[in-house]
Amino acid sequence: MYTSIDKQKAKGARQRFLNAVEELSVGEGNVKKRLDVAYMDYLIHLSVREMPSQIEKDFQELKSALQRVTPKYPHRSCACESLGRCHNKTASKYAKKIFDMFMTIEKIIHTE
């Protein structure tokens, strides 16, 4: 059973995660490019406090990984810089983590 607070937080985060998953699925470019867009456009402004307790740790790990490197140039994002230093396999794991968090959000919302 999920708490009403977790359900409320899940509902608040759902649309942003849905948009991120859509970008990861059908966006243009390779996995690093799609992940950069998904994170920067939909997830970067969410805080860990806004997440249901079931995904707080995963979301914090994702934020830390994608904000690890400070951009050298103003036109590049922190996620782009961080992803530029990782392998495609690692980027795919981050994308899968976003999908898994979205599925947990859906489960929280739709479980009575």
**31-77, pLDDT tens digit by residue?**
999 999 999 999 999 999 999 999 999 999 999 998 887 777 777 77
pTM for this one? Answer: 0.92
CB 105 within 8 A of CB 20: no
Q: Binning pLDDT at 50, 70 and 90, where does residue 79 land? A: confident
Q: Crossing angle of helices 88-110/31-38, nearest 10°?
A: 40
Q: Binning pLDDT at 50, 70 and 90, where does residue 83 land? A: confident
Can you read off the two tokens belonging to residue 31?
């996995």
Looking at residue 69, its pLDDT comes to: 74
Does the pLDDT at position 13 exceed 90? yes
CB 94 within 8 A of CB 20: no
